[in-house]
Every structure is written in structure tokens, then in C-alpha cells.
């Protein structure tokens, strides 16, 4: 496969979040399930490293014979994308960073992760959905498209509590990728919803300023899950970016 786009899902969803994706003719899409999601085996219990996810993705690509690819992800998937660049930059033709950030969690952010650990341990994925839906989806989506809220809730409810716990710990303990951004010497598409509360547009603007070959696209009327809330605009941005690489 000459043209491969690898897209990594957000927390606490799974690969079904990419169901609406379209790409130009000649491109192949790989959407790996991260360890612990969609029924996949859990990551190592003696590690909290985001690299566990990146190495799992690389292993799945190796099994498919994919040696060169465009790596991308949304939210947690963006963290994994940056870990992929750090581990296998020579294999990345380009990056897609959607509704994510390069910096580490703040002290408050880490405390919020710990609170979420308690929620999922005590009450399960449904309680995680209760806590997160109002932030995952922008106000425009929540007001006008209740079916999207139901779809996202179903994706969260389908995940195993242990997989969600493992992901929270890895997000909480991930490193600071900001100092690495100036060394990203491939084209990079940065996408963000203008109603994103979890990773506001300022975070994407900060990354864009540090990326030598970055392109920033802001999608109106979308919150944190831009590919689900504004699929047509998201696909347009993805298609234009991939066509520029062909």
C-alpha cells in the first residue's frame, strides 16, 4: 500500500468514530484499536506510558506490511500520534493532529484524571459518558443533533472499564511534546473545532506556531469531536491535506 493514512481514535471512544471518514482515491485508511479498546487486549499492567499505544500501532502496521504512512489522531489519538513521531519519525510522511494538545496535563488536569479514574472504577463507562458528553460535544451539536449525543454515548458505553482506566493513566502521565514540535519536518495538519472546550483553539494555534510545516484548520460549530460533529468539513480538510502529499 503506497498511500496509507493511520487514524487513532479518541478517548473514551473506539474505531467506530471514524465511520464517516472519506479519503481521496488511492489512499488506504488503517484505524487501529488501541489496547484495551474495542475488545483488544489490555496494555501492560506495569506501565503507564503513552508509548505502549504507539508501539501497538507500529506492531499492527508491521503485520500489514506498512512501512510508510501519514499518522493522525484526535484528542488521545493525537497524543499517540506524537509518540509515533518520536518513535518512528522516519516512517511518517505527514501528521494530522485533531482537537489535541502537545503539552502535558496541568496539575488540575492530572487531578481531573484521577477523579475520572474513581468514576469509572466505581460506576463504569456510563458514568464516564455522563461526566464527559457536555464537554466532548459542542453546544451547537448538543442543541441541534441529539442523535450525535446518542451515538457518542453508545460508543463510550461499549468500552471495557479496564481499558478506560489504562487510557486515563497514560494520558495523565504522558510527556511534554511541545519541545519536539519544531523538529517535525513533515507536513502537519492541525484541526480544531471552534467550540472545543477540552482542547480550545488556542492550543491548536500554539502547536501551529511551533510546527515548521503546519496548516491550521478551524471548523465552525464543532466541539471536541470534529470528525463526528462536522464530518463534511473534517473530510474536506483531510482530503485536501492528503492530496497535497500525493
Tens of pLDDT, residues 172-219: 999 999 999 999 999 999 999 999 999 999 999 999 999 999 999 999
Supply the mean pLDDT for the chain: 97
pLDDT reported for residue 1:
63
Which ranges constitute the DSSP H helices of the chain? Answer: 51-64, 76-88, 107-123, 125-136, 139-144, 146-157, 161-172, 201-210, 226-229, 231-245
pLDDT reported for residue 9:
98
Output the pTM of the full model.
Answer: 0.97
Question: In 3D, which of 91, 133, 107 has the Cα closest to residue 223?
Answer: 133
pLDDT reported for residue 104:
97
Under the banding of pLDDT at 50, 70 and 90, the label for residue 244 is: very high
Rounded to 10°, the helix 107-123/125-136 angle is 140
pLDDT reported for residue 246:
72
Quote the CA–CA distance of 214 and 20 in Å, as a whole number: 25
DSSP per-residue codes, 154-199: HHHHTS-HHHHHHHHHHHHT----GGGGGG--S-EEEEEETT-SSS
The CATH number that domain 4-245 falls under is 3.40.50.1820
DSSP per-residue codes, 122-144: HH-HHHHHHHHHHHHS-HHHHHH
Residue 155 has pLDDT above 80, yes or no: yes
Quote the CA–CA distance of 65 and 67 in Å, as a whole number: 6
Query: How many CA within 13 A on the CB side of residue 52?
Result: 21
pLDDT reported for residue 208:
98
Amino acid at each position: 500500500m503506497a498511500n496509507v493514512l493511520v487514524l487513532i481514535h479518541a478517548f473514551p471512544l473506539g474505531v467506530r468514530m471514524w465511520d464517516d471518514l472519506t479519503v481521496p482515491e488511492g489512499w488506504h485508511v488503517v484505524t487501529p484499536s488501541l489496547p484495551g479498546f474495542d475488545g483488544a487486549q489490555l496494555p501492560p499492567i506495569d506501565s503507564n506510558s503513552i508509548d505502549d499505544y504507539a508501539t501497538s500501532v507500529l506492531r499492527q502496521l508491521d503485520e500489514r506490511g506498512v512501512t510508510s504512512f501519514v499518522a493522525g489522531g484526535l484528542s488521545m489519538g493525537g497524543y499517540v500520534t506524537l509518540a509515533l513521531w518520536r518513535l518512528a519519525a522516519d516512517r511518517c510522511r505527514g501528521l494530522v493532529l485533531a482537537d489535541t494538545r502537545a503539552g502535558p496535563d496541568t496539575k488540575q488536569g492530572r487531578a481531573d484524571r484521577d477523579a475520572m479514574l474513581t468514576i469509572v472504577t466505581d460506576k463504569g463507562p456510563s458514568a464516564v459518558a455522563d461526566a464527559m458528553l457536555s464537554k466532548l460535544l459542542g453546544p451547537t451539536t448538543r442543541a441541534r443533533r441529539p442523535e450525535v449525543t446518542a451515538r457518542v454515548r453508545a460508543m463510550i458505553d461499549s468500552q471495557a472499564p479496564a481499558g478506560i482506566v489504562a487510557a486515563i493513566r497514560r494520558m495523565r502521565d504522558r510527556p511534554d511534546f511541545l519541545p519536539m514540535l519544531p523538529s517535525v519536518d513533515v507536513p502537519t495538519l492541525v484541526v480544531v473545532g471552534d467550540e472545543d472546550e477540552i482542547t480550545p483553539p488556542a492550543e491548536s494555534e500554539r502547536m501551529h506556531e511551533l510546527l515548521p510545516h503546519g496548516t491550521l484548520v478551524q471548523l465552525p460549530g464543532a466541539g471536541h469531536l470534529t470528525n463526528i460533529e462536522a464530518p463534511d468539513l473534517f473530510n474536506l480538510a483531510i482530503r485536501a491535506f492528503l492530496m497535497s502529499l500525493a
